[in-house]
Amino acid sequence: MSTDVRLTTDDGVVHEGDQSISEALSAYGNKIRGGELGSLPAFLGLIVLVIIFGALKGDVFLTAFNFANLLTQSSMVIVLAMGLVFVLLLGEIDLSAGFGAGTSAAVLAVALTQKGLPWYVAILAALATGALIGLFIGVLVARLGIPSFVVTLAMFLGLQGLMLLIIGDGGTIAVKDPVILAIENNNLSIVAGWVLFAIVVLGYALTSGRRILQRRSQGLTTQSNSLWLSKVIAIAVLYGAFTWQFSKERSLNPQATSIKGVPYIVPLILVLLVVLTFVLSRTAFGRHIYAVGGNAEAARRAGINVQGIRIACFVICQVLAAVAGILFASRDNSVSPSTGGSTTLLYAVGAAVIGGTSLFGGRGRVWDAVIGGLVVGIIGNGLPLITQQAGIQFIVTGLVLLVAASVDALSRRRSAASGRA
Amino acid sequence: MTSTSGSGENSSTPLLSLRGVHKSFGAVNVLRDVNLDVWAGQVTALVGDNGAGKSTLIKGIAGIYPFDTGEVAFDGEPVKITGPRQSNALGIEVVYQDLALCDNLDVVHNMYLGRELKSGVSLDETTMEQRARETLDGLSVRTLKSVRQVVASLSGGQRQTVAIARAVLWNSRLVILDEPTAALGVAQTEQVLNLVRRLADNGLAVILISHNMNDVMQVADNIAALYLGNMAAQVSKTSVNHQQVVELITTGRSGDLGLQQAVAL
Ligand SMILES: Nc1ncnc2c1ncn2[C@@H]1O[C@H](COP(=O)(O)OP(=O)(O)OP(=O)(O)O)[C@@H](O)[C@H]1O
Ligand SMILES: [Mg+2]
């Protein structure tokens, strides 16, 4: 993230100090050696997993149909993990995020099915439910100083009860609203998929290019043009290949139904990724979240409203959990008392940590949730192709989480030794 | 109790003046009836043994632990400082003993923490980086490789420099430094003392907390000695010698200076 800035800038030579590709690579290498691993382990894990499952069950695993499945299966965990990044950054935890998703989904289902409200009102009600739950947790943690572990463990139970009460005796509420169902089940048209491609590539090229020009005009060193261009090209090639694959027919039975196009879930996750990353890395609010996670007392002395930041992060986490709840309702066509339960929360925490967010607070990005969520998703998608035993799946996912947590702890020790954060 | 005000040169209104300030943590009375005057253009050294209450006193001024009772006047006007934003708004900047830096943030982010420059909703990183660099260059700190390094990767002295740079970055009127030279080598200590002098010569008021008598005698105009939470004496440096200051610190009195009766503990 950070580029080296040399002390002499007024040498009059334009772009002289800008970072070239090789310099960027060596700076990255230094970071890794210093213990700042970021998403690298998750990225390598992703590649290794694809190779393993591809080699063992390539005919089923390496198909566009399966990858589309994988994306929709992972989407709930990714969105939940995005929310958890905010509380993990503070060094806190929200164990109730899974059932928070379930509770909000229950509100959505009741609003749609029993009250007959339009989909947008139901979505607003679900998001508001998440916000209220988050506010409640945040106030208990920030104002009363109860450890978040305890508060959210209590909420883990309490929300399960609340869900049962909301859902009522029926046990399961069917969701039939076409808009809600479309979120997890439908795809963009081919044209829209390529428009999204253009937005992604141009959006990245323009925003990063603008920043480079701005820094250069102020005499600050930044990336060289060739480094910028190679990043833009890399994104265009990778995301272009992705869009191209998903633009082809992938139905297992094309005569009966045609399935093609980028799933709706992709732009949804991209929007969340961009907006939340902007909030965390480009706004004062985001900066204050890192500050509170790094040294809460220093943040307080700098005049930051530490309690407000804490409460806001719990609210954000539960609102994103509500988004995940909407995705659950869309994927399952229904909401039941087990929605958001079972391994959901553990997988989401695992996803954030696997992606590189620290359990110790102060270090993490929204992107970690995406890449970590994909790792968790691939394990859940690929393992059943190899073994039907649920026991093995639990053990493997547990092991991956342990490995990720050890990488976190070790890189922390290593960065303490090398003097990095 | 005699709190001897400075000599004739201090006849102007002090920039900051504390009268009868109390602070207790639970049952522990940390500050009792403390008076202090700080003038613009002068370095006021605040001395006292470990646990005398120096850090608590300046945290009260900074609004971190507001005083329980007592009057605070800034620029002759009575003020009530209840939070760090308020003291910042008055132009008070503090370099804390523990530095209060966020290890996971870089130098620029730390210097602007809580007072980030914005353009629209987003942070104005380029301006912050430039100004941070200018300030650090102004302190003639050439040892920092990059202002985009995270603070955790800095040496003790470099961290201290960042904390000081943060305090002088703003248009401050009173700069408080709590043992700013504790982690510094000989050359850097000299640099910081020069800076302290320069700040005062530029018309700022400076409070310097230090355990090093040589530093105090070298740079201070005014010495305030705290003894077990009581202000033993505030005297002009020219009116005392090294030995008298040490006595004030260790026993709370020296001749007819200082606390005249034994302090009730
Ligand atoms: N937050 C707090 N809660 C309770 N007691 C405190 C607190 N802060 C300080 N004290 C007590 O107040 C007294 C004065 O502490 P302070 O830190 O002001 O001393 P000091 O003069 O700065 O000492 P040093 O030279 O060691 O830095 C000590 O006895 C300390 O235990
Ligand atoms: Mg102290």
pLDDT digit string, tens, across residues B117-150: 998 889 988 899 999 988 888 776 667 778 888 8
With a cut of 50, say whether residue A35 has pLDDT above it.
yes
DSSP A223: B
Pairing label, strands B174-178, B92-95:
parallel
Q: Is B229 in the pocket of ligand 1 (CB under 6 A)?
A: no
- Just give the CATH number of B1-91+173-265: 3.40.50.300
In three-state secondary structure terms, A117 is: coil
Residue contact B114–A303, C-beta within 8 A: yes
CB neighbour class for A360 (10 Å; exposed up to 12, middle 13-18, buried from 19): middle
Over chain A, what is the mean pLDDT?
Answer: 86
Of A110, A191, A181, A203, give the one whose Cα is nearest residue A332: A181
Tell me the shortest Cα–Cα distance from B146 to chain A, in angstroms.
5
What are the domain boundaries of chain B?
1-91+173-265, 103-166
Q: Which residue of B has its CA nearest to A419?
A: B153
Position A7 scores a pLDDT of 33
Share of residues in chain A with pLDDT > 70 (%): 92
Say whether pLDDT at B7 is over 70.
no
Query: What is the reported pLDDT for B2?
Result: 39
Count of positions (residues) in chain A: 421
Identify the pLDDT of residue A1: 37
Which residues of chain B have a CB within 8 Å of the CB of A282?
122-123
CA distance linking residue A228 with residue A19, whole number of Å? 10
Task: Say what the pTM is.
Answer: 0.89
Nearest to A92 by CA among A315, A300, A264: A315
State the pLDDT at residue A233. 92
pLDDT in tens, A340-363: 888 889 899 999 998 889 888 899
Please give the DSSP secondary-structure letter assigned to residue A114: I
Task: Tell me which of A2, A213, A221, A309 to substitute to probe the interface with B (most B C-beta atoms closer than 10 Å).
Answer: A2
Residues 6+ apart with CB under 8 A from A244: none
- ipTM field: 0.88
Q: Which bound ligand lies closest to the C-alpha atom of B50?
A: 1
Nearest to A294 among B96, B105, B127 (CB): B105
Provide, as residue numbers in chain A, all residues whose Cβ is less than 8 Å from the Cβ of B55: none
DSSP string, A299-356: HHHTT--HHHHHHHHHHHHHHHHHHHHHHHHHHHSEE-TTTT-TTHHHHHHHHHHHHT
Lowest mean pLDDT among A364-368, B198-202, B261-265: B261-265
Beta carbons of A221 and A267 less than 8 angstroms apart: no
* Residue B190 to residue B108: CA distance in whole angstroms: 25
State whether B113 and A220 contact (CB < 8 Å). no
The closest-lying atom of ligand 1 relative to the alpha carbon of residue B49 is 25
- Which whole number is the average pLDDT over A314-324? 97
State the average pLDDT for chain B. 88
Report d(CA A102, CA A108) in Å as an integer. 10
pLDDT value of position B263: 53
| Binding-site residues on chain B for chain A (CB distance < 8 A) | 62, 64, 83-85, 88, 94, 96, 100-106, 109, 113-116, 118, 121-123, 126-127, 129-130, 133, 137, 142, 145-154
